[in-house]
Amino acid sequence: MRITQALITRVKLFWLSRVSRRFAVKGRLWVHGFGDVQVGRGTRFDAGRIGIELHAMRGARIVIGENCHFGEAASIEACDLVQIGNRVSVGAWTRILDNSFHTLRGKPDDRPRSKSVIIEDDVTIEPRAIVLPGVRLERGARISEGAVVYRRVPAGAVVWGNPARPLKSV
Amino acid sequence: MSRSLFNVYASAISSLERLFALVQLRHCAIGKRIRTTGRIVAVGGSNIHVGSYTTFVGGLIPTRLIAHSSSRLSISRGCVFNYGCHVEARERVDIGIGCKFGIGVVISDEHEGRIAPIAIANSVWLAHGVQVRPGVTIGEGAVVSAGSIVTHDVPPGMLATGTPVRLLPLDLVDAKPA
């Protein structure tokens, strides 16, 4: 079962537009949805036992830069755009999404408008962090373990906690 | 693919999903038309009650429903569980009608040796990564935002954000009613 899934993922990635040939996948990479996924050169998916989810819905884009690193069970869901720069490290169990999928009140099927997530170069996201819709992580920011990011993080800042607040700024 | 063929295909998928749920929840007390697109690990047999029209979304990690002996884990109808949820009952866990659970929600009525029942009212939304600690009651229509750890009761119609949890009325956050 797992081997078939891995093969299907490989075939799917092969057919995806603008995927660089030179990136490494260890374990299972689960790409689904009808959107567009772009992966840059030298990016490593270190999926471990559980796998990594890349979910781009129809008309959505996930753009991953060069030399990034993804940990086990990281999950990216895009309804509009999730853009990740170069040399970004995404820790294990991290979730990045650009839509919260439900409104606070109202019918369960109502879906709010998506707000794209932009992660610039050299950002480090530590394990179990959650990056919520509309967030912009600027160059060199560091998201501590388990932080929940609601809004823009300025360049070089270190944030922690839920909601994420600055530890220090460089 | 023509539209009619697509409908046949979709209904076949839907019945497969229902069959898949029936097989995986075969020891539990279940209602009708429960669907799943992934794995469910249900431990505890007839102590687990799952209501009709409940959906379990599949993904990277199976959803786990665990009921220890002489406990009761009841899920009312129309709930939606995203993947990786962990619901564990040692005494009693009640989940109301039409609740929504995000990815990796942990609801356990035992934490560090303390056991107390958990009650979750109707149409509550727990976003991804929420942890509910023992003895907590969550009121009707409340929303708990991502990554929060709920240690105290949440009154109805409130938005609970952050760790430690802060409560904001939904009327203030989301001005226009549904």
Name the closest residue on chain A to residue B178, using Cα atoms.
Answer: A106
Please tell me if residue A162 touches chain B, with a CB cutoff of 8 Å.
Answer: yes
| Residue A166 one-letter amino acid | P
pTM (predicted TM-score): 0.87
At B16-35, the pLDDT tens digits run 888 888 899 998 999 989 99
At A100-159, the pLDDT tens digits run 888 888 777 788 889 999 999 999 999 999 999 999 999 999 999 999 999 899 999 999
Three-state DSSP state, B101: strand
Please tell me if residue A137 touches chain B, with a CB cutoff of 8 Å.
Answer: no
Q: Do A162 and B98 touch (CB under 8 A)?
A: no
Position A83 pLDDT exceeds 50:
yes
Span B112-127, mean pLDDT? 94
Tell me if the bond preceding A163 is cis, omega within 30° of 0. yes
Order of all β-strands in the sheet with B131-132: B40-43, B63-67, B86-89, B106-108, B131-132, B149-150
